[in-house]
């Protein structure tokens, strides 16, 4: 693997943000690669990226039948050819400045570095409730599995040592919730118990353009990932919807 870092941007219909996000990241981190894992957007996203004509930026069009945020992230990690990767959203809710802090922790020996939101007032009420409920269930699951935990498993901003997580994905992907929204949770569930985990704090921003992809299906997938009560809650909630 080469040095530096790959920034993974899982996207779906992010044409209002994608060119500005890529431009910001390239300016701040000129040596890093950018890997856009796109779920077959039909909004001109690919054309906007191609117009940048940047050899360190790759736009990867995923198979239509394999749609899903978590699946995009897992595939992005497997496509990464640098020592480290950082996964972040494309809508500026995750600040580009956090990438440098995460990479520093990885270079200092961490296997995984997780961004922890300082506060969550930018979340809508339903997302706030769903985030805290999912986090509580995730912590319980990781505790039962004797795995490392975090103060914000649901933030979506994290980076890792590529070789470590390629192995986790290769061995355990059949157990993952591919259409879910919380890839980090699955990665932590199946990561080695010896995993070295660090955290950074960041200000969670507001979406700059486009629409949130949160739906009842996403909340159900979060519940299904959790033990021992999550699957039961998911079934009850599905009947109520």
223, 185 contact by CB (below 8 A): no
Q: Are strands 112-117 and 57-61 parallel, antiparallel or unpaired?
A: unpaired
In a domain, 160, yes or no: yes
**pLDDT digits 0-9 by tens, 107-164:** 999 999 999 998 755 556 656 666 667 777 888 889 989 999 998 888 899 999 999 9
28, 97 contact by CB (below 8 A): yes
In a domain, 130, yes or no: no
CATH number at residue 60: 3.90.550.10
In a domain, 119, yes or no: yes
Average pLDDT of the residues in 171-177: 91
In a domain, 194, yes or no: yes
The total number of structural domains that make up the chain: 1
In a domain, 131, yes or no: no
Range of the domain at 79: 2-123+151-207
Provide the mean pLDDT of the chain. Answer: 86
In a domain, 185, yes or no: yes
Q: What is the pTM of this model?
A: 0.85
Q: Would you say the C-alpha torsion 31, 32, 33, 34 has a positive or negative sign?
A: negative
d(CA 120, CA 137) in angstroms, rounded, equals 18
């Amino acid at each position: 693997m080469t040095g530096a870092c790959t920034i993974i941007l899982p996207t779906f219909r992010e044409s209002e943000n994608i060119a500005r996000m890529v431009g910001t990241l390239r300016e701040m981190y000129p040596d890093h690669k950018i890997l856009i894992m796109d779920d077959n957007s039909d909004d001109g996203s690919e054309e906007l990226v191609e117009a940048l004509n940047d050899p360190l930026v790759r736009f990867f069009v995923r198979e239509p039948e394999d749609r899903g945020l978590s699946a995009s992230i897992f595939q992005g990690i497997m496509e990464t050819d640098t020592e480290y990767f950082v996964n972040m959203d494309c809508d500026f809710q995750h600040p580009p400045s956090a990438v440098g802090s995460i990479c520093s922790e990885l270079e200092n020996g961490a296997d995984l570095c997780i961004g922890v939101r300082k506060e969550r007032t930018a979340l809508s009420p339903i997302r706030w409730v769903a985030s805290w409920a999912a986090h509580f269930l995730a912590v319980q699951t990781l505790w039962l599995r004797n795995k490392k935990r975090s103060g914000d498993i649901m933030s979506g901003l994290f980076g890792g040592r590529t070789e470590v997580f390629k192995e986790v994905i290769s061995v355990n992907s059949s157990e993952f919730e591919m259409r879910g929204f919380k890839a980090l949770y699955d990665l932590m569930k199946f990561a080695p118990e010896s995993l070295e985990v660090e955290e950074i704090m960041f200000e969670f921003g507001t979406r700059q353009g486009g629409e949130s992809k949160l739906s009842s299906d996403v909340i159900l997938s979060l519940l299904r990932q959790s033990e021992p009560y999550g699957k039961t809650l998911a079934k009850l909630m599905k009947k109520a919807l």
